[in-house]
Chain A
Amino acid sequence: MTEPLVVVDGLSVDFTTRHGPVRAVRDVSLTLRAGECLAVVGESGSGKSVTARTLLGLAGQGADVRARTLSFAGHDLRRLGARQWRRLRGRQVGYVLQDALTSLDPLRRIGYEVAEPLEVHGLATRDDLDDQVVGLLAEVGIPDPEVRLLQYPHELSGGLRQRALIASAIAARPRLLIADEPTTALDVTVQAQVLDVLAARRDAGTALLLISHDLAVVARLADHVAILYAGTVVEQGPAAELLAAPAHPYTADLLAAVPSVEGPVPDLSGLRSAPAAQEGCPYAPRCPLADDRCRERLPEALPYDTGRLVRCWYPGGAPASVPGERSAVPVVPARAEPVLTVRGLTKRFRSPDGSHRTAVDDVSFDLAAGEALGIVGESGSGKSTTARIVLAEFEPDAGSVLLHGEPWSGLRERDRRARRSRIQLVDQDPLSSFDPRYTVEEVVAEALPRTRDRGERVAELLGQVGLDPAILRRRPGQLSGGQRQRVAIARALAPGPDVLVCDEPVSALDVTVQAQILTLLTRLRRDAGVSLLFISHDLGVIRQVCDRVAVMKDGKVVETGQVETVFRAPQATYTRALLAAVPRIGPGPRVPARPRVPEPVPVTDLKGPT
C-alpha cells in the first residue's frame, strides 16, 4: 500500500454558539490513500461536513479544532497559515459542497465558476481558459459544454449543476476530492450518473472522500466506510465487510432502515429515536443492547474482524433485524368500493416564455377503501400536480375526480367545503404548512370540530402518532423533522379522513426517522382504515407502504400494478430503467465505473430538484 494521503487522528471540533458549546466532532480518526474512496456515513448533524471542512481549514466561524495528527501529503495541516491554506484549497483538495443549488454562485455563469480554481491558482492563461473549462464540463459528462459555459446555475437541472460543481472541484486536478452528499436530492437515474463521474476520478488516482447519509449510495463507490454518529466514528472498515456484517448496533439499524426494492420488507417497528447521549456511548439511548456501562463510558475504537474498528462494548452483538414478510401491510379486499376515482386528468401550465406545458396528461386510477396506492416518477413528472388536483386545490383542464362516487372536482368551493375533511394531505415540508404563530396544540386542534373534549382528542391523536404530549405547547419550529411530520400526520388524521394524500412525506428525513414514519403510516392504515395516495420518487419507500403502484413519466402513467409484480417484472422500459438505477447495498465487490450512459436530461429541462 502507498503512503496515506490524509491522516486524521483524534480530531475534535467544538463550536461556541449562543446556546453554549457544540461538540460537532469528537475524536475522529481516518486515513485515506490515493485512488481510494473513503465514505463517511451518518445521519444529519453527525458531523460529516464539519470533518470534511476541517481538511480545508474551513471548519467555520468559532470552530475550535484539535487533533493529534492532521496531515495531508505529509504536511501538518495544523501549522498552515492563511496563505498556505489557500494554496492547498482547490489545488490539492477539491471540495464538492452539498446542495449544488446554493453552492454555485447564482449570479455568475457556470464557466466562471468552473474556471475559478484555475484562475486563482494561475493554472490557465486567458486564452486557454475557455478550452479547459469546456474540457472539464465534457469530462463530467455535461452535454453541449460550449453552451452550458455561458448559462447560469438556475438554467441548469440539478444533475447538471452537481456535475458542474464537480467539474469545478476537479479543475485543478487536486489529489484529494471531497464530495459532500453529491447525490442527495437527485433522481435515481441522475444520481447514478454523478456517482459514475466520481468513480472515474477515483479510478484516475484521486483520493475520494465521499460523504453521505445514504448507505446504498456509498456501497457503490467506497473502499472504506466510516460510520459517524453524533460526531463519533462508531465503526469503520472495508466497505464490503462492514456492510455485509455490521458490527455496531447503529450500523445495523441504519442498514435495516434502508428501504430496498428487493428482498424482504423489514419490520422496523423496533426502531427507536432519541437524542444522542452526551456522556458514554452516544448511541446508548437508542441501542437495544445498551447497559450501564454503555451509558457511562464510551469505548475506545477496538479492532474487530479484519482491519475494522468498532466503538462498542458489544461489537457484532446487534440482532440482525428480523425480516418480517409483508405481514404489516393489510391486504385490501378485491371487491372494495373505490373511495377515489380519477379519470383522465389533464393539467397544463403556462411557462414564463408563454408556451404551455402539460404537467399531467390523461391520468386515471382508482383508490379503494383501505388501499395504498403509490405514485413514483422522477422530478417534474407530475406527481404533485396530480395530488393537488385530487385535493381540489385547483381544477383539472380535463378529466374528473370522484369521491365516494360523487363529483369532487368541478364544484364550487362552497359545495365542497363540507366534504373537505374526507381527504387530507401530508406534505414533504410540514413546517411551512403550519401557521408560524400556532403551537402544536393549536395546529391539531384547528382540524377538530369545536367540541368540549377537543383537548383530549388532541392528546389522543398525538399519542396515536407516537408523540409525547409534552410538546403540545411548543411551536413547530422547535421540533425535529420527524416530530414535525408526526404532527402533520396527526393533523391530517384529526378530521377522520377517508383518504390521506402523502406527497413525499419522508424524503427530507434521515433513513431511521423515515423508517419510523413509514411504519407509522402503515400502522395507521391498518388501525384507521384510511386509504393512502402515496407519492415518492423513492421506489424502496413505495414498496414498503403500498399495495399498488403507478409509475409516472412526463405527466403520463406508464405502468400500474401490484407493487411486487411491477418491481419483480417491470413492463415499461422506463420502469425498468428506473429500477436498474436504484443503488443497492449488496454483498460483492464494489462496482467499477460504468461506461458513461447517454445524457437523459433534456437541455430544456430547467427544473431543479424538489
Chain B
Amino acid sequence: MTAPALARPYRKVRPGLWAAWAFLALVCCAALFPALFAGAPDQVDATAVLRGPGAGHPFGTDQLGRDILARVVYGARASLFVGLGSTLLAGAVGSAWGLLAALGGRAVGEAAMRLADILLAFPGILTALLVVAVLGPGTRNATLAITIALAPGFARIVRVQALVVRDSAYVRAAINLGLRPWRILRRHIVPNVLAPLLILATLNVGTAIIAGASLSFLGLGPRPPAPEWGSMLAQARNYLDVSWTLALFPGAAITLTVMSATAAGRALQARYERREP
C-alpha cells in the first residue's frame, strides 16, 4: 500500500554537532561577558605591533599593538548582535507580513506580496547597501539593513506556509468543530507556521552574520575601533604580506560561528522533520 520505505542511511550522533553547540555557547559567552576571556580590546601598545602569536598575546597583536584575541572576543558581540538581531527582527517582521499576506484578504495580500517581490528583485546585499546608504553606516543600521534584506524572504515563506496550514485538513477539522476563527488562528495556524520559521531563522543566523561582516568589510558596518570581525579583516588586508594572524583569526571566527550556527539550525530542522510523521 505504501511505497517501499527505502530507509535513509543510518545517521550517527555526530561529535561535530556537539562541537558546534559548544562553540556557539562559547561565542555567546564571549559576546555577553567578553571580559572573562580577554583583556581590553582597544589597548594600544606601540612597542608590540604586528606580533605573531606568543606569550601574552595568544593570537598576536595588530597594527596598533592591540591584542587580537581580545579584539576577536569582543568582536563576537557585534557579529552576534547583527546576526541575531537582524534575524529576530526579520523573523518578526516577516511573520507579520507573511501572515497578513496569507490571511488578510485579497487586496492586502496582493499588496504585501508585491512589495516583497520588489525587495526580492535584487540580491540582499544590494538592498542592504541601499539601506545603509540611506541610514548611514553603523551597527544598528547594518542590522536594520540586513533585516530589511531578509524580511521579504521570510514573509514569502510564512505566507506559503500559512496558506498550506490554512487549507490543511486539521484546520478544516477545527472549523468543523465550530471553533472560533481567532482561536484557530492562535492555536493552529500561528504555531504551525512559526515552528518551521523558527528553524529557518536559525539557519539564517549564519547568513546574517556573513552579511553583517560583508557590510563592515565594505566599511558600512560598525566602525573601528569597535572590534568587529568584518572590519578587522578589511584592515588585515593591508598586512597580508606581513602578518597572517591578523586575517586568520577574525576570519576563522566568522567561519566557525556561521558553521556552528548552521549546523545547529540543521540539527533542529532534522529533529523537527523527524518528529513529523
Q: Are A61 and B172 in contact (CB under 8 A)?
A: no
Query: Which chain B positions have C-beta within 8 A of A419?
Result: 178
Residues on A close to B: CB < 8 A? 15-18, 44, 49-50, 53, 60-62, 98-99, 102, 181, 184, 213, 391, 393, 417-421, 423-425, 427, 429, 431-437, 446-447, 475-478, 491, 495, 508, 510
- Quick check: is B188 within 8 A (CB to CB) of the other chain? yes
Within 8 A of A (CB), among B50-99: none
Q: How far is the CA of A13 from the CA of B27 in the complex (A)?
A: 49
Q: How far is the CA of A434 from the CA of B169 in the complex (A)?
A: 7
- Quick check: is B14 within 8 A (CB to CB) of the other chain? no
- On whether A18 and B276 interact (CB within 8 A), knowing A49-B4, A424-B176, A495-B177, the answer reads no
The minimal Cβ–Cβ distance linking A408 to chain B, given in whole angstroms, is 13
Provide a sorted-by-A list of 22 A–B residue pairs whose CB atoms are within 8 angstroms.
A17-B10, A49-B4, A61-B6, A61-B7, A99-B3, A181-B1, A184-B1, A418-B178, A419-B178, A420-B176, A421-B177, A421-B178, A431-B277, A432-B169, A434-B170, A434-B173, A436-B275, A446-B179, A447-B177, A477-B275, A491-B177, A495-B177
- Quick check: is B243 within 8 A (CB to CB) of the other chain? no
- Quick check: is B180 within 8 A (CB to CB) of the other chain? yes
Q: How far is the CA of A17 from the CA of B6 in the complex (A)?
A: 11
**B10 in complex: contacting residue of A16, A98, A434, A495, CB < 8 Å:** A16
- On whether A417 and B178 interact (CB within 8 A), knowing A435-B188, A437-B192, the answer reads yes
Q: Are A60 and B192 in contact (CB under 8 A)?
A: no
Q: How far is the CA of A606 from the CA of B169 in the complex (A)?
A: 24
Q: Are B7 and A435 in contact (CB under 8 A)?
A: no
The minimal Cβ–Cβ distance linking B4 to chain A, given in whole angstroms, is 5
Query: Which chain B positions have C-beta within 8 A of A53?
Result: 4
Of all chain A residues, which has the CB nearest B168? A432
Query: Which chain A positions have C-beta within 8 A of B172?
Result: 393, 433
**A432 in complex: contacting residue of B11, B170, B174, CB < 8 Å:** B170
- Give the size of the chain B interface in residues (CB under 8 angstroms): 29
**A427 in complex: contacting residue of B7, B169, B192, CB < 8 Å:** B169
Of all chain A residues, which has the CB nearest B9? A61
Query: Which chain A positions have C-beta within 8 A of B11?
Result: 18
Q: How far is the CA of A391 from the CA of B177 in the complex (A)?
A: 11
Of all chain A residues, which has the CB nearest B195? A437
**A62 in complex: contacting residue of B4, B10, B174, B175, CB < 8 Å:** B10
Query: Which chain B positions have C-beta within 8 A of A15?
Result: 7
Residues on B close to A: CB < 8 A? 1-4, 6-7, 9-11, 168-170, 172-180, 187-188, 191-192, 195, 275-277
Query: Which chain B positions have C-beta within 8 A of A436?
Result: 170, 192, 275-277
Q: Are B10 and A476 in contact (CB under 8 A)?
A: no
Q: How far is the CA of A437 from the CA of B275 in the complex (A)?
A: 9
- On whether A433 and B177 interact (CB within 8 A), knowing A60-B7, A102-B3, the answer reads no
Q: Are B10 and A18 in contact (CB under 8 A)?
A: yes
Q: How far is the CA of A268 from the CA of B172 in the complex (A)?
A: 32
Q: How far is the CA of A423 from the CA of B2 in the complex (A)?
A: 31
Q: How far is the CA of A434 from the CA of B176 in the complex (A)?
A: 13
**B177 in complex: contacting residue of A62, A446, A475, A476, CB < 8 Å:** A446
The minimal Cβ–Cβ distance linking B86 to chain A, given in whole angstroms, is 28
The minimal Cβ–Cβ distance linking B170 to chain A, given in whole angstroms, is 5
Q: How far is the CA of A491 from the CA of B1 in the complex (A)?
A: 26
Q: How far is the CA of A391 from the CA of B175 in the complex (A)?
A: 10
Q: How far is the CA of A437 from the CA of B179 in the complex (A)?
A: 17
Q: How far is the CA of A510 from the CA of B1 in the complex (A)?
A: 9
Query: Which chain B positions have C-beta within 8 A of A417?
Result: 178, 180
Other A-B pairs, 16, CB within 8 Å; known A16-B10, A61-B7, A427-B173: A17-B7, A17-B10, A18-B7, A44-B2, A62-B10, A102-B3, A417-B178, A419-B178, A421-B177, A427-B169, A432-B168, A435-B187, A436-B170, A446-B177, A477-B277, A491-B173
- On whether A446 and B1 interact (CB within 8 A), knowing A62-B10, A437-B195, A477-B277, the answer reads no
Q: How far is the CA of A53 from the CA of B275 in the complex (A)?
A: 29
Query: Which chain B positions have C-beta within 8 A of A421?
Result: 177-178
Query: Which chain B positions have C-beta within 8 A of A477?
Result: 275-277
Q: How far is the CA of A433 from the CA of B174 in the complex (A)?
A: 9
Q: Are B1 and A44 in contact (CB under 8 A)?
A: yes
Q: How far is the CA of A495 from the CA of B4 in the complex (A)?
A: 38
The minimal Cβ–Cβ distance linking B160 to chain A, given in whole angstroms, is 17
Q: How far is the CA of A495 from the CA of B178 in the complex (A)?
A: 10
Query: Which chain B positions have C-beta within 8 A of A431?
Result: 277
Q: How far is the CA of A392 from the CA of B276 in the complex (A)?
A: 29
Query: Which chain B positions have C-beta within 8 A of A44?
Result: 1-2
The minimal Cβ–Cβ distance linking A510 to chain B, given in whole angstroms, is 8
Q: Are B10 and A435 in contact (CB under 8 A)?
A: no
Q: How far is the CA of A213 from the CA of B2 in the complex (A)?
A: 12
Of all chain A residues, which has the CB nearest B11? A18
Which one of A15, A62, A429, A508 has the greatest number of beta carbons of chain B within 10 Å? A62
Q: How far is the CA of A419 from the CA of B277 in the complex (A)?
A: 33
Query: Which chain A positions have C-beta within 8 A of B168?
Result: 432
Query: Which chain A positions have C-beta within 8 A of B277?
Result: 431, 436, 476-478
Of all chain B residues, which has the CB nearest A424? B176
Q: How far is the CA of A491 from the CA of B174 in the complex (A)?
A: 11
The minimal Cβ–Cβ distance linking A401 to chain B, given in whole angstroms, is 14
Q: Are B173 and A433 in contact (CB under 8 A)?
A: yes
Of all chain B residues, which has the CB nearest A43? B1
Query: Which chain A positions have C-beta within 8 A of B192?
Result: 435-437
The minimal Cβ–Cβ distance linking A240 to chain B, given in whole angstroms, is 26
Q: How far is the CA of A53 from the CA of B277 in the complex (A)?
A: 25
Q: How far is the CA of A427 from the CA of B11 in the complex (A)?
A: 35
Q: How far is the CA of A435 from the CA of B179 in the complex (A)?
A: 14
Q: How far is the CA of A429 from the CA of B277 in the complex (A)?
A: 13
The 6 closest A-B pairs by CB, nearest first: A420-B178, A477-B277, A433-B169, A432-B169, A433-B173, A435-B170
Query: Which chain B positions have C-beta within 8 A of A102?
Result: 3
Of all chain B residues, which has the CB nearest A447? B177
Query: Which chain B positions have C-beta within 8 A of A98?
Result: 1, 3-4
Of all chain B residues, which has the CB nearest A478? B277
**B176 in complex: contacting residue of A49, A213, A391, CB < 8 Å:** A391
Q: Are A437 and B191 in contact (CB under 8 A)?
A: yes
Of all chain A residues, which has the CB nearest B277? A477
Query: Which chain B positions have C-beta within 8 A of A16?
Result: 10
The minimal Cβ–Cβ distance linking A158 to chain B, given in whole angstroms, is 14
Query: Which chain B positions have C-beta within 8 A of A433?
Result: 169-170, 172-173
Of all chain B residues, which has the CB nearest A419? B178
Query: Which chain B positions have C-beta within 8 A of A478?
Result: 277
Q: How far is the CA of A418 from the CA of B177 in the complex (A)?
A: 9
The minimal Cβ–Cβ distance linking B50 to chain A, given in whole angstroms, is 52
Of all chain A residues, which has the CB nearest B191? A437
Q: How far is the CA of A290 from the CA of B113 in the complex (A)?
A: 64
Query: Which chain A positions have C-beta within 8 A of B4?
Result: 49-50, 53, 60, 98
Q: How far is the CA of A161 from the CA of B180 in the complex (A)?
A: 43
Q: Are B1 and A213 in contact (CB under 8 A)?
A: yes
Which one of A16, A17, A60, A436 has the greatest number of beta carbons of chain B within 10 Å? A436
Of all chain B residues, which has the CB nearest A422? B178
Which one of A213, A418, A433 has the greatest number of beta carbons of chain B within 10 Å? A433
Q: How far is the CA of A211 from the CA of B201 in the complex (A)?
A: 46
Q: How far is the CA of A433 from the CA of B175 in the complex (A)?
A: 11
Q: How far is the CA of A423 from the CA of B180 in the complex (A)?
A: 16
Query: Which chain A positions have C-beta within 8 A of B178?
Result: 417-421, 495
The minimal Cβ–Cβ distance linking B72 to chain A, given in whole angstroms, is 40
Of all chain B residues, which has the CB nearest A58? B4
Which one of B170, B172, B175, B195 has the greatest number of beta carbons of chain A within 10 Å? B170
Of all chain A residues, which has the CB nearest B276? A436
Query: Which chain A positions have C-beta within 8 A of B187?
Result: 435, 446
The minimal Cβ–Cβ distance linking A56 to chain B, given in whole angstroms, is 12
Q: Are B173 and A425 in contact (CB under 8 A)?
A: yes
The minimal Cβ–Cβ distance linking A447 to chain B, given in whole angstroms, is 5
Q: How far is the CA of A475 from the CA of B275 in the complex (A)?
A: 9
The minimal Cβ–Cβ distance linking B51 to chain A, given in whole angstroms, is 51
The minimal Cβ–Cβ distance linking A454 to chain B, given in whole angstroms, is 14
Q: How far is the CA of A102 from the CA of B10 in the complex (A)?
A: 24
Q: How far is the CA of A17 from the CA of B3 in the complex (A)?
A: 17
